[in-house]
Structure 1
Amino acid sequence: MPFLLAMSRAIDALNTRIGAVCDYLVLLAVLISAGNAASRYAFSLSSNAFLEIQWQLFAAIVMLGASVTLKKNEHVRVDILYSWVSPATRLWIDLVGIILFMLPVLVLLFWLSVPFFADSFRLDEHSANPGGLPFWPVKFMLPLGFALLFLQALSELIKRIAAVRGVITLETTYEKPLQ
């Protein structure tokens, strides 16, 4: 168990760093958006590349930020009963959900997204707009994001198993009140 908990901490650290990169990507997207709007209105200059990089950055922020969102327990929960049950029951709900639903779905999404990216990369797929950007970098965010989310799900699974076994406590996992 100590090795698995060390692996969990390493995954958490990786996704925390990637989350910090996402913070800067948000700033970059805002600056590009503001700069593009200012140049369009002040000088009647604009570029399709500036418009496209905004949605590409948004895609990167969402796909790369999902893993740190899971780590921070800030993801959306569908289970209405979750907020009414004890922390021990929550652990079991999380265990079952991660094993039966999250991990298999992430494996499937990763498996489906790799050829989607690979075909785009192989064909050097670009936007049809004049001055548009290549599509493969943003399509790469899909398998990368699903892989990072899979790793974080494994980390969460390790922590839940350790908590059920009494090796660690997870008060911080449930610090956010559910509404």
Structure 2
Amino acid sequence: MPAVMTAYVRFVDALNYRIGRFMMYGIFIMLGVLLWSSISKTFFYPSLWTLEAAQFAMVSYYILGGPYSMQLGSHVRMDLFYGNWSDRKKAWIDAFTIFFLIFFLGVLLYGAWDSTSYSLKYGERSPSAWRPYMWPIKVVMCIGFLLMLLQAISELFKDIARIRGEAL
């Protein structure tokens, strides 16, 4: 494989590995927010911010953890025929189908970028009682979609290497 492709795969995999390992601890943020929600509803006046803060934490958790999940191969896969195929045939099928994912992620990133720019331009706020600004979570979504797109391209390069009988 060309050195540029190898360097790209190593860089993207290392980046998404570190971000994914960091985001694994995001569950504790959600746990803390939801625990505070339960305590405040029981003993104090209910907090207005807890539901949306937990939703924002959850979105960050799975959007930024998605590329790491793809890297580990722990995403959902229809395994009716796939499990019986050779590694080379799997690589061919994966290399073909990843183009659909790359197109889909490109469309998502375009829409997220457009939505984020709108949110920043007009100071968009949530329609809830808490009314937080929406741009921070939209920026997280743009970063997550970009990282997932980069990881999908990395997986394509790995599939090409497997088709050629090389290891990355």
1:48 alignment counterpart: 48
**TM-score, scaled to structure 1:** 0.86
Aligned AA (1:144): I
2:125 alignment counterpart: 126
Deviation at 1:64, TM superposition (A): 0.8
2:38 alignment counterpart: 37
Deviation at 1:79, TM superposition (A): 5.5
Paired with 1:85 and 1:121, the residues of 2 have a C-alpha distance of 48
- Is the CA contact 1:52–1:132 (under 8 Å) kept in the aligned structure 2? no
Q: Is 1:8 equivalent to 2:9 in the alignment?
A: yes
Runs (4 or more) in structure 1 with deviation over 4 Å come to none
Deviation at 1:91, TM superposition (A): 0.7
1:66 alignment partner, SS class:
helix
1:114 alignment counterpart: 113
Deviation at 1:131, TM superposition (A): 2.9
1:77 alignment counterpart: 77
Decide whether aligned partners of structure 1 residues 46 and 21 sit closer, same or farther in structure 2, where only a CA change above 3 A counts.
farther
Q: Is 1:92 equivalent to 2:98 in the alignment?
A: no
Deviation at 1:50, TM superposition (A): 2.0
Q: Is 1:148 equivalent to 2:147 in the alignment?
A: yes
Q: CA RMSD in A?
A: 1.5
- Is the CA contact 2:40–2:47 (under 8 Å) kept in the aligned structure 1? no
2:39 alignment partner, SS class:
helix
- Is the CA contact 1:18–1:64 (under 8 Å) kept in the aligned structure 2? yes
Deviation at 1:156, TM superposition (A): 0.7
Which ranges of structure 2 fall in alignment gaps of 5 or more residues? none
Residue deviations 1:72-92 (CA, integer Å, cap 9, x gap): 001111353211211111011
Q: Is 1:20 equivalent to 2:15 in the alignment?
A: no
Paired with 1:108 and 1:79, the residues of 2 have a C-alpha distance of 27
Deviation at 1:16, TM superposition (A): 0.9
- Is the CA contact 2:70–2:151 (under 8 Å) kept in the aligned structure 1? yes
Which ranges of structure 1 fall in alignment gaps of 5 or more residues? 170-179
**TM-score, scaled to structure 2:** 0.92
Residue deviations 1:105-163 (CA, integer Å, cap 9, x gap): 11111112211111112111112333332111112232221111110011111111112
Kindly, what percent of the aligned residue pairs are identical?
29
Deviation at 1:54, TM superposition (A): 0.3
1:39 alignment partner, SS class:
helix
